[in-house]
Amino acid sequence: MDGGVNPLLPDSILLEIFLYLDYKDVLSAGQACRQWQAVARDEVLWKELFYRYYEVARDVPRHPAAVSWYGEFQRLYDTIPCIEVQTLKEHSDQVLHLSFSHNGYMFASCSKDCTIKIWNNDLEFSLLHSSNMKKFNWSYTQFSQFNADDSLLLVSGVFMGPRTSSSGEIAVISLENFTLLSRVRNKPYDVFGCWLNETNLISGNLHRIGYLTSCSVLWLNNAFQGVESENMNVVKRLFKLQNLNASTIRTVMVVDCSRYDSPDLSPNQGEQSVSSPATAPSQATDLCSDSEEEEEAKHHTVPEPSAEDSPGAKSEAEAGDGLDRFLTDIIEGRVQPVMTELEMETKVAQLLAKKRTKPPEPNLLSMEGCSQKKYLIFTTGCLTYSPHQIGIKQILPHQMSTAGPVLGEERDSDKFFDSLDHVIDIHGHIIGMGLSPDHRYLYVNSRAWPQDCIISDPLQPPPIAEEIDLHVLDLKTMKEAKRALRAHRAYTPSDDFFFIFLDVSRDFVASGAEDRHGYIWDRHYNICLAKLRHDDVVNSVAFSPVEQELLLTASDDCTIKVWRSPRTVRILHAEKPRLRKPLFSWATNQRS
Tens-level pLDDT at each residue, the chain (592 residues)? 555 566 678 888 988 999 999 889 998 988 888 888 899 999 999 999 999 999 999 999 999 999 999 999 999 999 999 999 999 999 999 999 999 999 999 999 999 999 999 999 988 999 999 999 999 999 999 999 999 999 999 999 999 877 667 899 999 999 999 999 999 999 999 999 999 999 999 999 999 888 888 999 999 999 997 655 555 678 999 999 999 899 999 999 999 998 887 665 555 544 544 443 333 333 333 333 333 333 333 333 333 333 334 344 445 555 556 666 766 766 666 666 666 767 777 777 777 777 777 888 777 777 666 777 899 999 999 999 999 999 999 999 989 988 877 776 655 556 688 999 999 999 999 999 999 999 999 999 999 999 989 998 889 999 999 999 999 999 999 999 877 788 788 888 766 667 899 999 999 999 999 999 999 999 999 999 999 999 999 999 999 999 999 999 999 999 999 999 999 999 987 454 444 444 445 344 433 3
The two most distant CA atoms of the chain are separated, in Å, by 103
Q: What are residue 322's phi and psi, to 5 degrees?
A: -60, -40
Q: Given phi > 0 = left and psi -120 to 50 = alpha, else beta, which region is 77?
A: alpha
Question: Is 371 buried (19+), middle (13-18) or exposed (0-12) by CB count in 10 A?
Answer: exposed
**Contact residues for 220 (Cβ-Cβ < 8 A; gap 6+):** 196, 200, 201, 202, 235, 236, 237, 238, 399, 401, 402
**CB count, 10 Å around CB of 451?**
6
According to DSSP, residue 495 is labeled: G
Q: Do the Cβ atoms of 156 and 189 come closer than 8 Å? A: yes
**CB count, 10 Å around CB of 344?**
15
**What single string gives the DSSP state of each residue in 540-589?**
EEEEETTEEEEEEEEETTS-EEEEE-HHHHHHHT---TTPPPP-SHHHHH
What distance in Å separates the CA atoms of residue 297 and residue 295, rounded to the nearest whole number?
Answer: 5
H or E stretch covering 259: none
What distance in Å separates the CA atoms of residue 237 and residue 203, rounded to the nearest whole number?
Answer: 10
What distance in Å separates the CA atoms of residue 326 and residue 310, rounded to the nearest whole number?
Answer: 24
**Contact residues for 295 (Cβ-Cβ < 8 A; gap 6+):** 407
**In the Cβ-directed half-sphere of 177, how many Cα atoms lie within 13 Å?**
3
**In the Cβ-directed half-sphere of 367, how many Cα atoms lie within 13 Å?**
8
Is the bond preceding residue 188 a cis peptide, omega within 30 degrees?
yes
Q: Do the Cβ atoms of 510 and 543 come closer than 8 Å? A: yes
Q: Do the Cβ atoms of 419 and 357 come closer than 8 Å? A: yes
Q: pTM above 0.85?
A: no
Q: Strand 502-504 and strand 508-511: pairing?
A: antiparallel
What distance in Å separates the CA atoms of residue 469 and residue 511, rounded to the nearest whole number?
Answer: 11
According to DSSP, residue 273 is labeled: P
The helix-helix angle for 43-54 and 11-18 (nearest 10°) equals 10
